Chain A
Amino acid sequence: MAKTLFIDTSKCMACRGCEVACKNWNDLAADIRPFNGSYQTKEGFATQTYTIVKMNEVEEADGIRWIFGKRQCMHCTEAACMMVCPKNAIQRSPEGAIYVDRDLCIGCGYCVQNCPFGVPKVDNNTHKMSKCDMCVSRIENGLTPACSKTCPTGAIQFGEREDMLRAAQVRLAQVRKRFPRATIYGNEEAGGTVLYILTEDPAVYGLPPHGTQVPWQVKFWQYLARPVGNVAVGASVLLLLVATWFNFVQKPPKETGAHVEGGVK
C-alpha cells in the first residue's frame, strides 16, 4: 500500500531535529556554508542535505510572524524525475518511495532540470544524483522515516496515504481557526505527493503553486517520445544486425574479432 508523509506546518517549531536525524540515518556529511544572516543556515537541498526547514520572517498587520516548513522530496505519484531518467535509475518502492539506484545513475541531471520542487542534486565529482528516499531502507522494514521518528511535536506523521489524507482533512478545519489561509497541499499536485498542511501560500515554503502538475513535455517524453525512441533504437540495432548478418553470410571475414562488436559472434 502507498504510504506517505503528512507534514503539519502549524506544529513545526523548526527545532531542526529532522535535519539531524536525516543526516544521521543516511550518514551524510556536514556542510558548513558562509554566514547568511539567518537561522536557516541551509538555503536549499544539496547532495549531502536531503531535508531542510524553511524559516521565513513575515511582517503582518498584527505583528511579526516566523513561518516554518520542512521540505524534502515529495515522492510524487507522477514523478517527473522518473519520467525523464534515461537509465531508469529512479524507481518507486512498493511503499511509494521514489529512490535512486546509484549504480544505474549516470549523473545526466535530467531529473534536476525537471523536478518541479527542485529536489534532486547531482554530485559533480561522483556524477550521481542523491535525494531523500523516504528512508526506504527503514520503511521496508516497518519503521518510520527518521525525520518522522524524531519530530517532537508530531508535525511529521507517516502512514497509509489514505489515513494521512483523512488526518489532514480533519486537521485542516482546526488549523483554519488560527490560520484562515491554511490549505492542504500535495493531494493533487504532481499526481499526489507528500501531504502538507500549509498555513501560508506555497511560495512561502519555496513550493510551486497549488495544482502544479508535471509539464506536458515531460509526460510527452515519458509516454511517447521515449517509447518511440526506444523502438527507434531497437529498429536501428535490428537493421545493423541484419546488415551485419548479410555481410557475414555473403562475405565471411578473414579475421573475425574486429567485426563482432555488438555481441554477435
Chain B
Amino acid sequence: MTNHYIDLKNTDCALIIGSNAAENHPMSFKWLTEAREKRGAKIIHVDPRYTRTSALADIYAPLRSGTDIAFIGGLIKYVLDNELYHRDYVVNYTNATFLVNPEFGFDDGLFTGYNPQSRKYDTKSWAYQKNADGSYKRDMTMQDPNCVFQILKRHYSRYDVDTVCKITGTPKDVYLKVAETFCATGAPDKTGTIMYAMGTTQHTVGTENVRSYALLQLLLGNTGRPGGGVNALRGESNVQGSTDMALLQHILPGYLSSPVATEKHATLADYLKNETPASGYWTNKPKFMVSLLKAFWGPAATKENDFCYDYLPKKKPGVYYDHIGLFEAVYEGHIKGMFLWGQNPVVGGPDALKEAKAMENLDWLVAVDLWETESASFWKRPGANPADIKTEVFFLPAAASFEKEGSISNSGRWVQWRWKALEPKGDSKPDLWIIHNLYKKIAKLHEGSTDPKDKIITDLFWDYGNGEEPDIDKVAREINGYDFITGKQLPLFSKLKDDGTTCSGNWIYCGMYPEEGNLTKRRNTTDSGGMGNYLEWAWSWPANRRIIYNRCSADPNGQPWAEDKAAIWWDEAKGQWVGYDVPDFGKTKAPYAPGGQDAFIMRPEGVGCIYSARAEGPLPEHYEPWETPTKNILSSVDLNPAVKVWNTPMNAKGNSSRFPYVGTTYRVSEHWQTGGMTRNLPWLAELIPYMYAEIGEDLAAEKGIKNGQKIIVSSARGEIEVYALVTKRMKALEVNGKKVHQVGLPWCFGFSGIVTGATANNLTPHIGDANTNIPEYKAFLVDIRGVE
C-alpha cells in the first residue's frame, strides 16, 4: 500500500477493483465503514462476481475477468475529456509535461520497437527528450504533441465508453455512474483510494493492470495524499515482509535487483554502475548493496574481494526462476530437490495436476508446514501409485504464528513485533529455528573445507548465537544494520556507507532498530492530527513514513490542498517540513528551492510516472487473456505481445468453441489460501465445507443444472467434480454482442484435511504476466456439465 489500512478512513471514495476486500481483508472495511459514516464516502466495487464486498458497496459494476485496462482506460479518457484531472498536481508532480522521443509511436496494439521473434521490445524509441545538460525537456503547458499528456490523450482516445463496455460487459449506465463518482475525486480537496489484490495481478497483463490504477491516481491527484493512493491488499499477513526480504527471485532484500550472469553484472563495480541511476534517492544504491553484502558475509567481505559479491548466485539470462519457470524445470527433470516452506503448489499452483506430476521427478522434497498438506503428501494423492514415486519426502512440522516471536509487515508497511503466546506443540519448531539449525548442520559439513566454492558457506556471517535456539533479537538488529567500528545500531538508512564499515540486512528496514531499541515493539496510541498515522505505534518502512510520496499531500507551495487532507506542510518559520507524518522529502528542502517540487524522490525524474517503460510498453494497453471468449476489438493483437508463451506439455490451451465460459478463481472469507490451515480447523471447516462452482441462474437454466447438484467443470488442463452453487449474483455479460457467462471457483480445496474437495487449479493455465510471470489464475476458459 502507498498508504495504510487506517488511512482508508480519510477517503471520499474507494474504488475496489480486483479485490474482494470485505471477504479477504475484513479489517479494511472497519475503516471504510468509518469513512462512510463520518465523511459520507462512497464505495465502488468492480468485479466479475457480486461478492460480499459488492453487497456493502454503493455501486457494483460487473466486468468480464481480464478487462481491467479497458475499464480503467475508459476512466482515463473520461477524466481527460471532462477535464476532471487535478491540473496543478499533474503539471508539477507527474511526467505529463515530459517530452518523449518523436520516434515513439503506437499502432494496432503495438508500440514502436517490437520484435515478434523474441516477443520483446527495444525501448530506445520510448526515451525522454533531454537538453544538452542532461536535464529533461518539459512543456509545462502540456501542448507539445510529444509530451506525455498528449501521448496519453491520443492513446486512450480509443477507449470510449461504448467500446469499453463492449469489452468489459459492464452495463453502460453503471459504468457512467462509476466514472462520475470516482473521477470526482480529481477535485483538489477530495481524495479517492484504489484497493486491489490478486484479481488485478493474476493476469497476463497483471503489471499493467496495476500501472493503469497508478496512472489514474496520478491524473486525479490522489497519490501521496491521505485517503488516496494505490493500495495493494496483500494476500497474507506477512507477504509484504516476505517481499521486502526478497521472497521473489528477481530481487535481493530491499528491492535491489538480483544479479544476472552477464557482463553488466560481472563485478560489483559493473553491477553498481548499471543498476544505479544518475539522479533520485536510488543514487545511494551502492551503500545499500555493500551494506547488504556485509550483512551476508560480515568480516569476510572486504573491499579487496568485492565484498564477496562473487558469492551471490547469478541468474542465467533468459531463464525463468519464478514459480512457473521452476515447475517447468521440475517437469523437465532439471531440478532434483525442493523445499516447500508454507507453500502448497498441488492445490495453489497453476495447472496443479501437472505440477503434482512434475514433483514425481524430484529426488527429495522437504515440506515445512503446520499440517501435512496436499503437496507434502503428493506421493499418495488420489490417482498416484506411491510405489512408482521415488521421491524421498521429509516433513518438518512448523510452529504457528502464536507459537513464535518475530515481526510481521502488514500491507501498509507497518512492521509490528509479535510475542510468543504459547509453546509450539509436539516437535513443531519456528521457521527461524529450522533454518538456523539447518545452517549449523550445513556449516558443520563444510567445516575446514578448502574448496573455493564452499567459501559461500564457510564465509557466511551467521551471528545469531551458537546455541540450538537462534537469537531473534540479533536477527532484527542485523536487518536494521549497525556500524562495525562503533558497534552501534544505525538510526536510519541515510547513515549506510559503501566502504564496508556498515551492515544492513535490508536498507528499507534501517531505522526500525536504532540504539534506543526495537521500535517495532512500540504500542503508543497517540495520533497527532487524528489522521490515523499513529507514528509511535510500531514502525513503518521507509523511515517510519505512513503515506509514501507524501510531499504530494501539499501543493507546490508546500501547503495542504485541504485542511482535512493534511499530511505534511512547509513551516517557513522553522524552515522545515512538519505535520502528521514523516516527510517523504528532504526535511529542510523548501518548496521554492531547486527540486523543491520533485515530490517522488525515488524516481530519477523526481515525478510520478504516467508514462513508464514496462515489458509490454510505456502505457497500459488492453489485451485479451491467454484464453478468451472473444477477439480484441481494440487491435489485432489478442495476447499481451511480451508474455512468455510456454509451448510445453504443462500449458494446453483451450478455445471458446469447446470451453465457452470464463472461469475465475478466488478466495472466501472462511478459508485461507489453499485451505492448508483452515480446512484442518473444525470451526472454519464447517463454514464452507464443500467445493462448489458459482454459476448464474441463466446459465444453470440453459444447462438444466439445479442448485446443489454435482457438476463437472472442465478446461483444456483437466476437469473437476464439484457442487453447483446457483445464484442470482452471477449474471451473464454482454461482451462484443455475445452473451458471456462466468464461472467462479474457490481455490481452497484439496484432498487433505477435515473437509476436502476438488482443486480448482487443476483447471488453470501455466502462463503468466510479461513482467513478473505471476500465473493467470483469474481468467481462463471452462465448460460445465451436470452429473447424473
B-binding residues in A (CB < 8 A)? 11, 13-17, 19-20, 23-24, 29-33, 35-39, 41-42, 57, 59, 63-68, 152-154, 174, 178
Contacts and interface: CB of A to CB of B under 8 A. Distances in A.
B405 interface: no
Contact of B708 (A35, A42, A65, A152): A35
A37 B708 contact: yes
Contact of A15 (B23, B37, B724): B23
Contacts of A174: 37
A29 B686 CA distance: 10
A32 B682 CA distance: 9
Contacts of A15: 22-23, 26, 52, 669
A153 B723 CA distance: 31
B23 A64 contact: no
A64 B686 CA distance: 27
14 contacts: A23-B683, A37-B707, A37-B723, A37-B724, A39-B688, A39-B725, A41-B689, A57-B729, A59-B728, A63-B60, A64-B731, A66-B55, A152-B29, A153-B29
B733 to A, nearest CB: 14
Interface in B7-32: 22-23, 26-27, 29-30
B55 A36 contact: no
B683 A152 contact: no
B258 interface: no
Contacts of A23: 683
Contact of A16 (B30, B58, B687): B687
Contacts of B27: 152
Interface string B714-747: 0000000001111111010000000000000000
A122 to B, nearest CB: 21
Contact of B725 (A14, A37, A64, A67): A37
A75 B582 CA distance: 49
Contacts of B403: none
Interface size class of B (residues with CB under 8 A): 35 or more
A38 B725 contact: yes
Interface SS of A by simple majority: loop
Contacts of B723: 35, 37
A16 B678 CA distance: 14
B26 A13 contact: yes
A194 B103 CA distance: 70
A152 B54 contact: no
A59 B698 CA distance: 14
A183 B334 CA distance: 66
Contacts of B56: 13
Interface string B679-717: 000111111111010000000000000011000000000
B29 A36 contact: no
Contacts of B683: 20, 23-24, 30
Given A13-B26, A16-B670, A59-B728, A66 B54 contact: yes
B177 to A, nearest CB: 11
B243 interface: no
The 4 closest A-B pairs by CB, nearest first: A30-B682, A37-B708, A37-B707, A66-B55
B50 interface: yes
B684 A153 contact: no
Contact of B726 (A24, A32, A37, A154): A37
B123 interface: no
Nearest to B689: A32
B26 A19 contact: no
A152 to B, nearest CB: 4
A154 B30 contact: yes
Contact of A153 (B33, B686, B688, B727): B33
Given A57-B728, A57-B729, A153-B30, A13 B55 contact: yes
B755 interface: yes
B755 A32 contact: yes
Nearest to A23: B683
A11 B682 contact: no
Nearest to B668: A39
Contacts of B686: 30-32, 41-42
